[in-house]
Amino acid sequence: MKQFRTVTSRAAVLDRPDVDTDQIIPKQFLKRIERTGFGEFLFFDWRKDPAFELNQPEAQGARILITGRNFGCGSSREHAPWALEDYGFDAIVAPSFGDIFRQNSLKIGLLPVTLPVEQVKKLAERANGGEEITVDLEARTAGGFPFELDDHARECLLEGLDDVALTLREEDALAAYEASHTAPVSTLAI
Amino acid sequence: MGLTLFDKVWESHVARRAEGLPDLLYVDLHLVHEVTSPQAFESLRLAGRRVRRPDLTLATMDHNVATGDDTPMDPLSEQQLAALARNCEEFGVPLYATGSGREGIVHVIGPELGLSQPGMTIVCGDSHTSTHGAFGALAFGIGTSEVEHVLATQTLQQRKPRSLRISFVGELPDGVGAKDIVLNAIGRLGVDGGVGHVIEYAGPVIEGLSMEGRLTICNMSIEAGARAGLIAPDDVTFRYLEGRPGAPKGADWDAAVEHWRELPTDPDAVFDRELEIDVSEIRPQVTWGTNPGMVVPLDGVVPDPDDFDDADARAAAERALAYMALEPGTPIQEIAVDRVFIGSCTNSRIEDLRAAAAVVQGRHVHASVRAMVVPGSAQVKRQAESEGLDRIFIDAGFEWRRAGCSMCLGMNPDVLQPGERCASTSNRNFEGRQGAGGRTHLVSPTVAAATAIAGHFSDVRDLVPA
């Protein structure tokens, strides 16, 4: 997984709630079997509108996206964080996230930062005023506001750890569980 | 203190608990489909890893399959389906491919094969995995990185969500069903009301529902932001499961039922949140906007954004009405539709098709409407055909298609054209969900069927007698 430590950048502001993953990456792009190259299709339909926030000159090169509550709701498609990351974003700041989107983002090194709605609005004002924002994972701050992220998730991001490898180190625990629990079904036996 | 159903399932699947770390939760059943798995298999291949438990893994083709003979597949879709077949072959994962007779929407085949059972943990790279919670299983959607993690380790690193119980009480009015109940609940909770929670649906109304109805309710948990929703197993559950291919047999069956009867939430268990909904006043529901929480009764009107107190909600309503091309105050029943879609993991099971067929029998689809029925699985399709439901739909002017996700997400050629308006039994009315520029209204199977006949949103009770 990609490491994340700190990013200082201008921020794009998408001030609307409940941005679903169908908007982030529409279904016609889910046919690809690769993990890369989704950035050009990010917000595919919305970007057709010249007035769309990400089309504005001040949003170009932004590595931080500041947005509304429940960002990434809907489908489990990891293509959504892949597209955001491939487009150039390193961190998304919002009052809340869809659970699966948030989890998917953490797994690929795209940092979801949850802050109270008033602080998100303040950061959006500062970003709209042209100020660069710093998201610092080691200090767990965004634009100076402290945010919460559990120690384990933080360490995985800071070190870019492969969590499959981490779990495979727990072979003793896995084998013990399997030895003491009969599987309720077998898909090979129906 | 007693335990909830959710507590019991969670605690019995913790393979490793350690201070400061997420639990390693063991997965009893991992369902796989073509869209969210290829990158996971590729990562396994690159790392030289194997699938730990192919016997707890099942793949099918659903999201991206053609549902009609007239729908040629594009090369990218063919490539994606071929990749799944190749991956399953290489890693030893059983696959119900198109034409196998057991293929279908992943959340329809798990239950009908008897593989989704009480007390299990079930995951799939699809957000509607919550569906299987109807059996009293903990079932939730995951992304591709987690699919890879489950393939390699049969576990997930998870922190336990909070719990929310919604108790449904009161007398369910005639013509109101599971879809209306859950749409109404999402309207009350909001599309982020369940974020960070697992919902248990409870109360006499839930106990009175069939398995199909319970599957519809749990299916839409994610539309309220909850990763999972579950319902206590009872005799309805056991009657549904008994005799299905994956269900235990003989003495194993008796032992399983005895175990399952211990799963329901203890009387003194405490939830993080509780909500009670009286269903007595609920009427058939229709969404008017661009998320499933934007919902009103069929006999209501399109709301006015000015009536929303919250500035964000007002702006969202204005955007939604502009996208949907609707005016505030318009009676829902005066809105004409171009398309009707009966299908999806929400409403494509045999009971859904029977309910819709009962409405259309002896009637004909309105001249300005194109309507299609897409059964949830090959088995549902065969069952419906053995009951003559296909003839009822075809005679009424519906298209009768092969199983798949179809126009619920429109990955295959079943899509809305820009500006087309659709009454759909699916689960998401997001912008462009069923095709760029398409306008989706979520409804129950009976409202979808009545709407196809009337040409505008309609209750079966308002149709001219057949």
Which pLDDT belongs to residue B110?
Answer: 98
* Separation of alpha carbons B154 and A181, rounded Å: 13
The per-residue pLDDT for A40 is 97
Closest CA to B35 of B70, B68, B73, B79: B79
The alpha carbon of residue B129 and the mean position of all alpha carbons in its chain are separated, in whole angstroms, by: 7
Compute CA distances B193 → B92, B196, B211, B227, B342, whole Å: 40, 9, 25, 11, 27
Residues B226, B203: Cα–Cα separation, whole Å: 19
List chain B residues with CB under 8 Å of A96. Answer: 192, 195
DSSP string, B128-146: GGGGGGGGT-EEEE--HHH
**Residue of B147, B149, B181 lying closest to B166 (CA atoms):** B181
Quick one: pLDDT at residue B69?
76
Q: How much is the average pLDDT of A42-63?
A: 97
Interstrand relation of A141-142 and A133-136 (parallel, antiparallel or unpaired): antiparallel
Q: What is the mean pLDDT of chain A?
A: 97
Q: Does B172 touch chain A (CB under 8 A)?
A: no
> What does the pLDDT look like over A103-124, one tens digit per residue?
999 999 999 999 999 999 999 9
Q: Is B101 in the A-facing interface, judged by CB distances under 8 Å?
A: no
Contact A82, A38 (CB under 8 A): yes
d(CA B128, CA B124): 9
Query: Would you say B59 and B84 are in contact if contact means Cβ atoms under 8 Å apart?
Result: yes
Q: What is the DSSP letter of A40?
A: G
- Kindly give, in sequence order, each residue whose CB lies less than 8 Å from that of residue B339, ignoring residues fewer than 6 positions away: B369, B370, B371, B372, B416, B420, B421, B422, B423, B424
Q: Residue A70: its chain B contacts at CB < 8 A?
A: 191-192, 195, 225
Within B137-249, residue ranges assigned H as helices are 144-153, 178-189, 204-207, 211-219, 235-241
Q: Do B116 and B132 form a contact (C-beta atoms < 8 A)?
A: yes
Hey, what's the torsion of the CAs at A147, A151, A152, A153, to 10 degrees?
10
Q: Do A98 and B411 touch (CB under 8 A)?
A: no
pLDDT of residue B412: 87
**Inter-chain contact B245–A167, Cβ cutoff 8 Å?**
no
B107 reaches A (C-beta below 8 A): no
Mutate to test the interface with A, among B146, B344, B428 (most CBs of A within 10 A): B146
B412 to chain A: which residues are within 8 Å by CB? none
Confidence of residue A12 (pLDDT cuts 50, 70, 90): very high
- Among candidates A78, A152, A188 on the partner chain, residue whose Cβ is nearest the Cβ of B145: A78
Rounded to whole angstroms, the Cα distance separating B212 from B444 reads 13
* Mean pLDDT across A155-167: 95
Judge: B142–A103 Cβ closer than 8 Å, yes or no: yes
pLDDT, averaged in runs of 10, over chain B (466 residues): 97 97 98 98 97 98 89 87 98 97 98 98 98 98 98 98 98 96 98 97 98 98 98 98 98 98 98 98 98 98 95 95 98 98 98 98 98 98 98 98 95 94 98 97 98 97 86
The answer to whether the CB of B72 falls within 8 A of the CB of B66 is yes
Q: How far from the centroid of its chain's Cα atoms is residue B175's Cα?
A: 21
- What is the Cα–Cα distance from A28 to B151, expressed in whole angstroms? 26
Query: How are strands ordered across the β-sheet holding B162-169?
Result: B228-230, B197-202, B162-169, B273-278
CA B55 – CA A169 distance, rounded (Å): 22
Please answer yes or no on whether A78 and B39 come within 8 Å at the CB atom.
yes
Give the nearest partner residue to A100 out of B127, B191, B313, using CB atoms: B127
Nearest to A151 among B20, B29, B57 (CB): B20
Q: Are residues B429 and B441 in contact, defined by beta-carbon separation less than 8 angstroms?
A: yes
Residue B465 has a pLDDT of 85
Chain CA centroid to CA A101, Å: 6
Rounded Cα gap, residues A44 and B411, in angstroms? 15
Inter-residue contact A44 to A29 (CB < 8 Å): yes
B305: its two tokens:
């954004």
Within 8 A by CB and 6+ apart from A97, the residues are A70, A71, A72, A105, A112, A114, B195
Residues of chain A contacting B138 with CB distance shorter than 8 Å: none
Partner A contacted by B74 (CB < 8 A)? yes
Distance CA B105, CA B376 (A): 6
8 A C-beta contact, residue B460 and residue B446: yes
Across the interface, whether the CB atoms of B15 and A174 are under 8 A apart is answered yes
| Phi, psi of B97, rounded to the nearest 5 degrees | -80, 165
Rounded Cα gap, residues B434 and B372, in angstroms: 13
Are B56 and A108 within 8 A, CB to CB? no
- Three-state DSSP class for B46? helix
What pLDDT score was predicted for residue B72? 73
From chain B, pick out residues whose CB is under 8 angstroms from the CB of A107.
143, 145-146
- The CA distance from A74 to B192, in Å, is 10
pLDDT at B425: 98
B57/A contact by beta carbon, under 8 A: yes
Q: Which two tokens stand for residue B446?
A: 């009976």
Q: Are B373 and B398 in contact (CB under 8 A)?
A: yes
Among candidates B21, B4, B10, which has minimal Cα distance to B139?
Answer: B10
Are A164 and B149 inside 8 Å of each other by CB?
Answer: yes
The pLDDT value given to residue B314: 95
Token pair listed for B194: 């369940």
DSSP state of B336: B
Name the 3-class secondary structure at A14. strand
- Compute the half-sphere exposure of residue B267: CA atoms within 13 Å on the CB side of its CA: 0
CA distances to B30, B211, B299, B375, B431 from B58, rounded to whole Å, are: 6, 22, 43, 20, 32
User: What's the residue count for chain B?
Assistant: 466
Interface test with B, best of A20, A73, A155 (most B CBs within 10 A): A73
- b/e sequence B257-269, b meaning 16+ C-beta within 10 Å: beebeebbbeeeb
DSSP A68-133: -TTBTBS---THHHHHHHHHT--EEEES-B-HHHHHHHHHHT-EEEE--HHHHHHHHHHHHTT--E
**3-state SS, residue B31:** strand
